[in-house]
Amino acid sequence: MNTREWLEALVAFDTTSRNSNLELITTVRDSLEKQGITPWFAHNKERTKANLFATLPATAGPEAGNTQGGIVLSGHTDVVPVDGQDWATDPFKLTEKDGSLYGRGSCDMKGFIAASLALTPEFLQMPRLRPIHLAFSYDEEIGCVGAPAMLEEIQKRGIKVDGCVVGEPTSMQVVVAHKGINVFNCKVHGRSAHSSLTPQGCNAIEHSARLICAIRDFADAYKAKGPYDQLYDVPFTTMTTNQIRGGIAINTIPDLCEFTYEFRNLPGMSAKEIQAQVERYAREELLPKMQKEYPDARIDISTIAGSPALETAEQEAITALVRALTGDREQRKVAYATEAGLFQQIGIPTIVCGPGDIGNAHKPNEYVPIAQLERCEDFLRKLGRSLQTA
């Protein structure tokens, strides 16, 4: 199948993160097995989702059959919901219009996966001295929670890799750095009471508001004082509270309030230290006030998801290679997070480069220009040919 045919097949699978991706993953596995490749899966605990990893061994010279080294082509199979969005076409049916292909995930990021799969037969015919690896993950869109299972298995199997390209939409431009993302859930437990007897209660919503405002204060301090990196469109670490739920009635003091917050840290800033200041405020400032009202009051903070920041040096071989193949010499850093930081965390030098514009991701009528897919195919062919030399 060519890239368009693969993309049509991939978009047809509703792999919204709340759903299983197994039907898509097994379709990819079956195709690879027919070509003599044996992928392996790394499942979630419920075995309802899976990462896929496959190696196309070296094909030439004394290294023929070698599975170590080489380059990983990485992409996530899940997509964001279409709920409440006004689509002009069926989001799970690939539609061509004005030189672009529309459908959920066409840009973010099934286009890159489709191109990688379409080029696989060519890769297998190339006289390569080093392997190519395919790494397709689940649940990237909800905090990069799927890929760690695959990366853990890579380490267990002793697989060594020279570099990785994560094909997130960058308009086929080279991205060498991005922020980290860290997402937390907070449950503030107070005591309920009739609202006419306010002193008998401990208002979980009001105390949550204090913590939420403290998080905003931390965010304002980063905005005002830095540190800064002006290569980012948002050149400082950000912190936001994005969901909140609490209360059962207008005349009842709430005993529980639950909210989620996130921060996106610049490379070099410790995520642990940023989180520590939130927990310190909760423990040392807020909780004592709550326990004066209700001795059993408590604040529970748990991690939902997290992915480290990425910063790949210009001196890394993968950076030099991808810059040479694309002709792109500009240094770019982005505020959104990807799985690239996870690969780098286990010692695999990684850059981000893929078809489509991130500005089209997650929106209704998501699309990828056909010209971008063609550029991606050209890049992948050049990448494969670069592995023909030691």
pLDDT of residue 349: 97
pLDDT (tens digit per residue) in 65-119:
889 999 999 999 999 999 999 999 999 999 999 999 999 999 999 999 999 999 9
Query: Cα–Cα distance between 79 and 86 in angstroms, integer?
Result: 17
Do 162 and 23 lie in one domain? The reply is: yes
Q: What is the CATH number of the domain that holds 257?
A: 3.30.70.360
Could you say which of 305, 334, 352 is where a domain stops?
305
Do 154 and 10 lie in one domain? The reply is: yes
Mean pLDDT (whole number) for 295-307: 95
Do 140 and 7 lie in one domain? The reply is: yes
- The residue from 8, 14, 63, 78 that is catalytic is 78
Do 173 and 239 lie in one domain? The reply is: no
Torsional class of 77: left (φ above 0), alpha (ψ -120 to 50), beta (otherwise): alpha
Give me the domain span that covers residue 204. 181-305
Mean pLDDT (whole number) for 290-313: 96
Share of the chain above pLDDT 90, in %: 96
Do 221 and 171 lie in one domain? The reply is: no
Do 152 and 199 lie in one domain? The reply is: no
Query: Residue 116 has which token pair?
Result: 């990688």
Do 224 and 255 lie in one domain? The reply is: yes
- The residue from 140, 141, 162, 255 that is catalytic is 140
Do 131 and 117 lie in one domain? The reply is: yes
Compute the mean pLDDT over every residue in the chain, rounded to the nearest whole number. 96
pLDDT (tens digit per residue) in 184-220:
999 999 999 999 999 999 999 999 999 999 999 999 9
Do 185 and 293 lie in one domain? The reply is: yes
Do 28 and 135 lie in one domain? The reply is: yes
Q: Is the pLDDT of residue 389 over 90?
A: no
Could you say which of 286, 305, 324 is where a domain stops?
305
| 78 part of the active site | yes
**In the sheet where 95-97 sits, what is the strand order?**
95-97, 100-102, 367-369
Q: Is the pLDDT of residue 63 over 80?
A: no
Query: Cα–Cα distance between 274 and 316 in angstroms, integer?
Result: 29
Enter the pTM of the model: 0.91
Query: Residue 335 has which token pair?
Result: 């505020």
pLDDT of residue 193: 97
- Which element (helix H / strand E) includes 55? strand 50-56
Do 11 and 144 lie in one domain? The reply is: yes
Query: Residue 308 has which token pair?
Result: 């480290």
Could you say which of 305, 321, 356 is where a domain stops?
305
| 140 part of the active site | yes
Lowest mean pLDDT segment, chosen from 29-38, 60-69, 257-266, 275-284: 60-69
